[in-house]
Each structure stands twice: as structure tokens, then as C-alpha cells.
Amino acid sequence: MVELLRVDDRLLHGQVAYAWSKSIPLNLIVIANDAVAADKARKATFALSKPAGVKLVISTVEKTVAFLNSDKAKAYSILVLVDSMHDARTLAEGCADVAAVNLGGLREHGDSKRYTNAVCLTDADLDDIRAVMDAGKEVYAQQVPADTKVSAATFAR
């Protein structure tokens, strides 16, 4: 079961690995990222970042959708990490088990605009957020579990 789908351009790092793994029950972290899935060095680096006792799978977005919809996924409490709102939308639309999207950390880039201390979004990101919300799923910004959730409806509508 997907416990958390998080958008974070750094993917797996200390804040994710330790803060979130202590606040939600999880035994599997899935990094859904086409580029990382094809990069042995990055995969090895992320393997060093995972918390002890938690499995790590790095896969393409397409294969992650298939896995999350399989019976195998039901045996796990899963944290899914993506680095773009577009990939989050693909997963949210493709997996009934995804109830919400957490915007955790998206640094300023290109023509993005800052919406929270940790979240900068482009117009395309906002379109993806609206589509996910229109599908009845929650989208919110929350950098760490101790922070208050900020509904994306406050800045994406």
C-alpha cells in the first residue's frame, strides 16, 4: 500500500529517509525515475541513503505504476519518491492506491515561482497539480512530518 507519494527533486536524502520513515509505517521505498533507473552510479548512491531495515527499489515510472497495481505491492507499506510533478501525476492517475501527493522539495528552476519555502513550481507543474486534484486526490506541501500541511488548492486554483 502506498503510504506516501512524495515529489522531491533530491529524491532520497536524509530528511526523507529518516524523518518520514519514522513518522509513517514503511518497509519499502520506491524511487520512480527513468533516468536514475538507467544509472548504476546513482542507484548505488541511493542504496547507501536508505534507512536500515527498509528495502529500496529503483524503477522507471511505467514499471512503478505496474508494480503499485499488482498484488505484490499489497504486502508492503510504500514510500514512493519522484522528482517531478509530472511523474507524480502519472502515478496518481495510474494507481488507485495513491490518495495524495506530497510536495516536499522542489528547488527554483527555469521559470518556476516559489509557493512555499521548499516548493517552486512552473505553470506546467500547476496544471499537473490541478489535474490530480480534479481526480479527487489531495495535493499538499509539507517538507517534514512536523510541518503543517499546506493544501495546493491555496496556490493552484
> Is there a domain that residue 155 lies in?
no
> Is there a domain that residue 153 lies in?
no
> Is there a domain that residue 152 lies in?
no
pTM passes above 0.75: yes
**More confident: 19 or 83:** 83
Q: What is the span of the domain harbouring residue 62?
A: 2-147
Structural domain count of the chain: 1
At 65-91, the pLDDT tens digits run 999 999 999 999 999 999 999 999 999
> Is there a domain that residue 154 lies in?
no
Enter the C-alpha cell of residue 25: 509505517
Which domain CATH number covers 54?
A: 3.40.35.10
* HSE (side-chain half, CA atoms, 13 Å) at 44: 3
Q: Cβ distance 64 to 80 under 8 Å?
A: yes
